[in-house]
A and B are shown apart, each in its own frame.
Chain A
Amino acid sequence: QSVLTQPPSVSGAPGQRVTISCTGNSFNIGTGYDVHWYQQLRGTAPKLLIYGNGNRPSGVPDRFSGSKSGTSASLAITGLQAEDEADYYCQSYDTSLSGPCVFGTGTKVTVL
């Protein structure tokens, strides 16, 4: 059971802005660990989308942005495009678990 909670789904029309929340606690995001985001297109491996809370790897469009505050983080997609329809996962580290890495529950983004 994941300790990082995301909404199961969000949707928006092309061109709109959508946001995905990632809620943790004082043992993970709240300790100061960075939050990272991954995009998983249907049938493919996850791809790093945002690292270190708000940094984009080379090749990731600037339509994607991330932020972190307190025990939560969020991913925003502006100018939504059909190709953005995918599953999105946040990830961080946790001091209360024997295994330190945790993923969020995942959010399906649907482009209407």
Chain B
Amino acid sequence: EVQLVESGGGLEQPGGSLRLSCAASGFTFNTYALSWVRQAPGKGLEWVSAISPGGSTYYADSVKGRFTISRDSSKSTLYLQMNSLRADDTAVYYCAKGEIQWEFPPGAFDIWGQGTMVTVSS
């Protein structure tokens, strides 16, 4: 079964850091693009960052310079290092798998994790 499981969320103070993880299983990890998508409380979906099968990285303007996406193929795990956190980073963070193997843009997001909540507050 293809599955994504996020972890690492929690409460952090403004200016602090958190690292989110997304453990993948059931597919060849480094042959698909993976993304982070967030959803602030009561708001819509916002794409945050992506990593292509070739390792190229992409970021939304709202997180560029503060967040870093990476992956460890030996562990089939995707990461999001979040630094200089702000209150408006408060959201549920989902990891999502691209639909098309070896492609970027990868088409649709066909598999989503259950999400992990990040709260930035003093």
CA A98 to CA B50, docked complex, whole Å: 12
Closest to A34 in B: B107
Question: A111 on the interface (CB 8 Å rule)?
Answer: no
Contact with B along A81-112 (1 / 0, CB 8 A): 00000010101010001111111111000000
Residues of A within 8 A of B45 (CB): 38, 40, 46, 89, 91, 103, 106
Residues of A within 8 A of B94 (CB): 45-46
Q: Are B61 and A99 neighbours in the complex by a CB distance under 8 Å?
A: yes
Q: Are B49 and A99 neighbours in the complex by a CB distance under 8 Å?
A: yes
Question: A69 on the interface (CB 8 Å rule)?
Answer: no
Q: Are B107 and A101 neighbours in the complex by a CB distance under 8 Å?
A: no
Q: A2-B44, A98-B59, A98-B64 are in contact. Are A45 and B112 (CB under 8 A)?
A: yes
Contact with B along A41-59 (1 / 0, CB 8 A): 0000111100110000100
Residue ranges of A at the interface with B (Cβ–Cβ < 8 Å): 2, 33-34, 36, 38, 40, 45-48, 51-52, 57, 87, 89, 91, 93, 97-106
Some 18 contacts from A to B, beta carbons below 8 A apart, are A45-B113, A46-B37, A51-B107, A51-B110, A57-B110, A97-B61, A98-B61, A99-B47, A99-B50, A99-B58, A99-B64, A100-B58, A101-B35, A101-B47, A101-B50, A102-B47, A103-B46, A106-B44
Other contacts beyond A98-B60, A101-B58, A101-B105: 13, CB < 8 A = A38-B109, A45-B94, A46-B37, A48-B99, A51-B99, A89-B44, A93-B105, A97-B61, A98-B58, A98-B64, A101-B50, A103-B37, A103-B44
Residue ranges of B at the interface with A (Cβ–Cβ < 8 Å): 35, 37, 44-47, 49-50, 58-61, 64, 94, 99, 105, 107-110, 112-115
